[in-house]
Amino acid sequence: MKVLVAVKRVLDYNVKARVKADKSGIELANVKMSMNPFDEIAVEEALRIKEAGNAEEVIAVSIGPSQSQETIRTALAMGADRGILIETEEELQPLVIAKLLKHVVEKESPGLVIVGKQAIDDDSNQTGQMLSAMTGWAQATFASKVEFEGDALKVTREVDSGLESIKVAMPAVITTDLRLNEPRYAKLPNIMKAKKKPLETIPVADTGVTTTTGLSVVEVNEPEQRQAGVIVSDVSELVDKLKNEAKVI
Protein backbone atom coordinates (compact mmCIF):
# COMPACT_ATOMS: atom_id res chain seq x y z
CA MET A 1 0.00 0.00 0.00
CA LYS A 2 1.08 3.55 -0.76
CA VAL A 3 0.50 6.40 1.66
CA LEU A 4 0.17 9.86 0.16
CA VAL A 5 1.02 12.83 2.39
CA ALA A 6 0.33 16.46 1.48
CA VAL A 7 2.88 19.00 2.73
CA LYS A 8 2.68 22.79 2.46
CA ARG A 9 5.36 25.48 2.55
CA VAL A 10 4.31 28.18 5.00
CA LEU A 11 5.77 31.04 7.01
CA ASP A 12 7.74 29.49 9.87
CA TYR A 13 5.68 29.45 13.07
CA ASN A 14 8.50 31.21 14.97
CA VAL A 15 8.42 34.21 12.61
CA LYS A 16 6.09 37.13 13.34
CA ALA A 17 3.84 37.70 10.36
CA ARG A 18 3.99 41.19 8.81
CA VAL A 19 1.31 42.61 6.54
CA LYS A 20 2.45 44.02 3.19
CA ALA A 21 2.33 47.79 2.79
CA ASP A 22 -0.48 47.53 0.22
CA LYS A 23 -2.43 45.16 2.55
CA SER A 24 -2.65 42.55 -0.19
CA GLY A 25 -1.30 39.76 2.01
CA ILE A 26 1.51 38.64 4.32
CA GLU A 27 5.12 39.60 3.55
CA LEU A 28 6.97 36.42 2.50
CA ALA A 29 10.08 37.91 0.90
CA ASN A 30 13.34 37.20 2.75
CA VAL A 31 11.66 35.42 5.66
CA LYS A 32 12.09 31.89 6.95
CA MET A 33 9.69 29.34 5.48
CA SER A 34 9.12 25.79 6.68
CA MET A 35 6.74 22.85 6.51
CA ASN A 36 3.30 23.39 8.00
CA PRO A 37 3.47 21.85 11.53
CA PHE A 38 0.29 19.78 11.03
CA ASP A 39 1.83 18.35 7.85
CA GLU A 40 4.96 17.34 9.78
CA ILE A 41 2.66 15.29 11.99
CA ALA A 42 1.08 13.78 8.88
CA VAL A 43 4.50 12.77 7.52
CA GLU A 44 5.49 11.25 10.87
CA GLU A 45 2.29 9.19 11.03
CA ALA A 46 2.80 7.91 7.48
CA LEU A 47 6.35 6.85 8.35
CA ARG A 48 5.17 5.04 11.48
CA ILE A 49 2.56 3.21 9.42
CA LYS A 50 5.28 2.10 7.00
CA GLU A 51 7.65 1.10 9.80
CA ALA A 52 4.87 -1.03 11.33
CA GLY A 53 4.63 -2.97 8.06
CA ASN A 54 1.27 -1.56 7.00
CA ALA A 55 2.59 0.37 3.97
CA GLU A 56 5.31 -0.07 1.38
CA GLU A 57 5.85 3.49 0.21
CA VAL A 58 5.34 7.05 1.49
CA ILE A 59 4.93 9.79 -1.11
CA ALA A 60 5.15 13.47 -0.16
CA VAL A 61 3.15 15.86 -2.35
CA SER A 62 3.30 19.64 -2.38
CA ILE A 63 1.53 22.27 -4.49
CA GLY A 64 3.18 25.64 -4.94
CA PRO A 65 6.26 27.45 -6.28
CA SER A 66 9.57 25.78 -7.07
CA GLN A 67 10.79 26.61 -3.53
CA SER A 68 8.31 24.00 -2.27
CA GLN A 69 10.91 21.43 -3.30
CA GLU A 70 12.67 22.32 -0.04
CA THR A 71 9.55 21.32 1.90
CA ILE A 72 9.36 18.01 0.04
CA ARG A 73 13.07 17.40 0.69
CA THR A 74 12.38 17.87 4.39
CA ALA A 75 9.77 15.11 4.19
CA LEU A 76 12.23 12.93 2.26
CA ALA A 77 14.88 13.55 4.93
CA MET A 78 12.39 12.44 7.58
CA GLY A 79 11.98 9.17 5.67
CA ALA A 80 9.50 9.57 2.81
CA ASP A 81 10.45 7.59 -0.30
CA ARG A 82 9.77 10.07 -3.07
CA GLY A 83 8.17 13.42 -3.75
CA ILE A 84 5.82 15.08 -6.22
CA LEU A 85 5.59 18.84 -6.74
CA ILE A 86 2.73 20.38 -8.68
CA GLU A 87 4.40 23.64 -9.56
CA THR A 88 2.50 26.92 -9.73
CA GLU A 89 3.13 30.51 -8.75
CA GLU A 90 -0.58 31.13 -8.14
CA GLU A 91 -2.01 31.36 -4.64
CA LEU A 92 -4.58 28.57 -4.70
CA GLN A 93 -7.73 28.12 -2.64
CA PRO A 94 -8.51 24.84 -0.77
CA LEU A 95 -10.99 23.64 -3.42
CA VAL A 96 -8.35 23.83 -6.15
CA ILE A 97 -5.79 22.16 -3.88
CA ALA A 98 -8.23 19.30 -3.28
CA LYS A 99 -8.77 18.90 -7.03
CA LEU A 100 -5.02 18.77 -7.65
CA LEU A 101 -4.55 16.21 -4.86
CA LYS A 102 -7.34 14.15 -6.45
CA HIS A 103 -5.32 14.22 -9.68
CA VAL A 104 -2.33 12.77 -7.82
CA VAL A 105 -4.54 10.18 -6.09
CA GLU A 106 -5.85 8.97 -9.46
CA LYS A 107 -2.27 8.81 -10.76
CA GLU A 108 -0.70 7.01 -7.78
CA SER A 109 -3.64 4.95 -6.39
CA PRO A 110 -2.66 5.15 -2.70
CA GLY A 111 -4.55 3.24 -0.03
CA LEU A 112 -4.40 6.14 2.40
CA VAL A 113 -4.06 9.93 2.19
CA ILE A 114 -2.91 11.87 5.25
CA VAL A 115 -3.04 15.66 5.44
CA GLY A 116 -2.70 18.18 8.24
CA LYS A 117 -6.07 19.30 9.58
CA GLN A 118 -5.23 22.88 8.57
CA ALA A 119 -2.39 25.12 7.46
CA ILE A 120 -1.20 27.78 9.86
CA ASP A 121 -1.21 30.48 7.17
CA ASP A 122 -4.91 30.42 6.25
CA ASP A 123 -6.46 28.09 8.88
CA SER A 124 -9.02 26.93 6.30
CA ASN A 125 -9.45 23.32 7.55
CA GLN A 126 -11.15 22.32 4.28
CA THR A 127 -8.81 20.42 1.97
CA GLY A 128 -9.04 16.96 3.56
CA GLN A 129 -12.82 17.04 3.72
CA MET A 130 -13.11 18.23 0.11
CA LEU A 131 -10.70 15.54 -1.09
CA SER A 132 -12.76 12.90 0.70
CA ALA A 133 -15.93 14.11 -1.03
CA MET A 134 -14.28 14.19 -4.46
CA THR A 135 -12.79 10.70 -4.20
CA GLY A 136 -15.78 9.17 -2.45
CA TRP A 137 -13.43 7.84 0.24
CA ALA A 138 -14.13 7.63 3.94
CA GLN A 139 -12.72 10.42 6.07
CA ALA A 140 -11.47 10.70 9.65
CA THR A 141 -10.70 14.27 10.67
CA PHE A 142 -8.80 15.66 13.69
CA ALA A 143 -7.12 12.31 14.34
CA SER A 144 -5.23 11.92 17.64
CA LYS A 145 -4.71 8.14 17.27
CA VAL A 146 -4.74 5.78 14.28
CA GLU A 147 -4.89 1.98 14.57
CA PHE A 148 -5.15 -0.68 11.90
CA GLU A 149 -7.90 -3.28 12.26
CA GLY A 150 -7.61 -5.55 9.25
CA ASP A 151 -8.72 -3.64 6.16
CA ALA A 152 -10.14 -0.81 8.25
CA LEU A 153 -8.85 1.94 10.51
CA LYS A 154 -9.88 2.78 14.03
CA VAL A 155 -9.36 6.52 14.47
CA THR A 156 -9.66 8.47 17.70
CA ARG A 157 -10.83 12.00 16.95
CA GLU A 158 -10.61 15.16 19.01
CA VAL A 159 -14.06 16.74 19.19
CA ASP A 160 -15.57 19.54 21.29
CA SER A 161 -16.98 17.11 23.84
CA GLY A 162 -13.76 15.09 24.22
CA LEU A 163 -12.64 12.07 22.21
CA GLU A 164 -14.60 10.09 19.65
CA SER A 165 -13.55 6.71 18.17
CA ILE A 166 -14.72 5.76 14.68
CA LYS A 167 -13.98 2.91 12.30
CA VAL A 168 -13.48 3.72 8.62
CA ALA A 169 -12.99 1.48 5.60
CA MET A 170 -9.96 1.98 3.39
CA PRO A 171 -9.05 3.74 1.18
CA ALA A 172 -9.53 6.77 3.38
CA VAL A 173 -8.48 10.37 4.02
CA ILE A 174 -7.15 11.29 7.47
CA THR A 175 -6.49 14.79 8.80
CA THR A 176 -4.06 15.04 11.69
CA ASP A 177 -4.43 16.85 15.01
CA LEU A 178 -1.59 18.07 17.23
CA ARG A 179 -1.62 15.19 19.69
CA LEU A 180 -1.35 12.39 17.10
CA ASN A 181 2.45 12.16 17.45
CA GLU A 182 5.69 14.08 17.83
CA PRO A 183 7.53 14.43 14.50
CA ARG A 184 11.10 13.18 14.34
CA TYR A 185 14.09 15.35 13.50
CA ALA A 186 15.86 14.62 10.24
CA LYS A 187 19.42 13.42 10.86
CA LEU A 188 22.30 14.76 8.77
CA PRO A 189 22.90 11.46 6.87
CA ASN A 190 19.20 11.34 5.97
CA ILE A 191 19.29 14.96 4.82
CA MET A 192 22.12 14.05 2.45
CA LYS A 193 20.27 10.96 1.21
CA ALA A 194 17.14 13.03 0.61
CA LYS A 195 18.96 14.99 -2.09
CA LYS A 196 19.20 11.81 -4.19
CA LYS A 197 15.62 10.62 -3.70
CA PRO A 198 13.29 11.04 -6.69
CA LEU A 199 11.26 14.24 -6.87
CA GLU A 200 8.89 14.66 -9.81
CA THR A 201 7.82 18.16 -10.86
CA ILE A 202 4.52 18.57 -12.70
CA PRO A 203 3.46 21.96 -14.12
CA VAL A 204 -0.04 22.75 -12.89
CA ALA A 205 -1.15 23.21 -16.52
CA ASP A 206 -0.39 19.52 -17.21
CA THR A 207 -2.90 18.34 -14.60
CA GLY A 208 -5.94 19.55 -16.51
CA VAL A 209 -7.30 21.19 -13.36
CA THR A 210 -8.75 24.68 -13.68
CA THR A 211 -7.15 26.90 -11.05
CA THR A 212 -9.48 29.88 -11.35
CA THR A 213 -11.53 30.62 -8.27
CA GLY A 214 -14.38 32.91 -7.31
CA LEU A 215 -12.58 34.04 -4.16
CA SER A 216 -10.22 36.98 -3.87
CA VAL A 217 -8.48 38.66 -0.94
CA VAL A 218 -9.82 42.18 -0.55
CA GLU A 219 -7.57 43.35 2.28
CA VAL A 220 -5.35 41.96 5.02
CA ASN A 221 -4.92 43.82 8.31
CA GLU A 222 -3.06 43.16 11.53
CA PRO A 223 -5.27 42.51 14.59
CA GLU A 224 -5.88 45.45 16.89
CA GLN A 225 -3.40 45.91 19.70
CA ARG A 226 -4.71 44.63 23.00
CA GLN A 227 -5.17 47.36 25.58
CA ALA A 228 -3.25 47.18 28.85
CA GLY A 229 -5.05 45.80 31.88
CA VAL A 230 -6.08 47.86 34.89
CA ILE A 231 -5.52 46.93 38.54
CA VAL A 232 -8.41 47.91 40.83
CA SER A 233 -8.16 48.46 44.55
CA ASP A 234 -11.37 46.72 45.64
CA VAL A 235 -14.53 44.99 44.47
CA SER A 236 -16.62 48.16 44.44
CA GLU A 237 -14.21 49.82 42.00
CA LEU A 238 -14.29 46.70 39.82
CA VAL A 239 -18.10 46.73 39.74
CA ASP A 240 -18.09 50.45 38.93
CA LYS A 241 -15.75 49.97 35.96
CA LEU A 242 -17.69 46.98 34.65
CA LYS A 243 -20.90 49.01 34.88
CA ASN A 244 -19.81 52.44 33.66
CA GLU A 245 -16.79 51.81 31.42
CA ALA A 246 -17.11 48.30 30.04
CA LYS A 247 -20.94 48.45 30.01
CA VAL A 248 -21.15 44.71 30.69
CA ILE A 249 -23.49 44.96 33.71
C-beta of residue 55 within 8 angstroms of C-beta of residue 79: no
Residue 24, pLDDT score: 85
- Sign, CA dihedral 1-195-39-165, equals positive
Examine residue 178 and state whether it is found in any structural domain, yes or no: yes
CA of residue 99 relative to chain centroid, distance:
16
Q: Give the Cα separation of 16 and 114 in Å (integer).
A: 28
Examine residue 104 and state whether it is found in any structural domain, yes or no: yes
Examine residue 20 and state whether it is found in any structural domain, yes or no: yes
Residue 75's CB is within 10 A of a number of other CB atoms, namely: 31
The partner residues of 33 in beta bridges, in order of sequence, read 11
Q: What does the pLDDT profile of the chain (249 residues) look like in tens digits?
A: 999 999 999 999 998 888 888 988 888 888 999 999 999 999 999 999 999 999 999 999 999 999 999 999 999 999 999 999 999 998 889 999 999 999 999 999 999 999 999 999 888 999 999 999 999 999 999 999 999 998 899 999 999 889 999 999 999 999 999 999 999 999 999 999 999 999 999 999 999 999 888 888 888 888 888 888 888 899 999 998 888 887 777
C-beta of residue 5 within 8 angstroms of C-beta of residue 27: no
Q: What's the structural domain count of the chain?
A: 1
Examine residue 92 and state whether it is found in any structural domain, yes or no: yes
Q: What is the Cα gyration radius of the chain? A: 21
Examine residue 249 and state whether it is found in any structural domain, yes or no: no
Examine residue 205 and state whether it is found in any structural domain, yes or no: yes
Which residue range forms the structural domain that includes residue 54? Answer: 2-244
The partner residues of 164 in beta bridges, in order of sequence, read 157
45: domain CATH number is: 3.40.50.620
CA-based nearest residue to 207, from 42, 56, 92: 92
C-beta of residue 38 within 8 angstroms of C-beta of residue 238: no
Backbone φ and ψ for 118, nearest 5 degrees, come out as: -165, 165
Backbone φ and ψ for 42, nearest 5 degrees, come out as: -65, -45
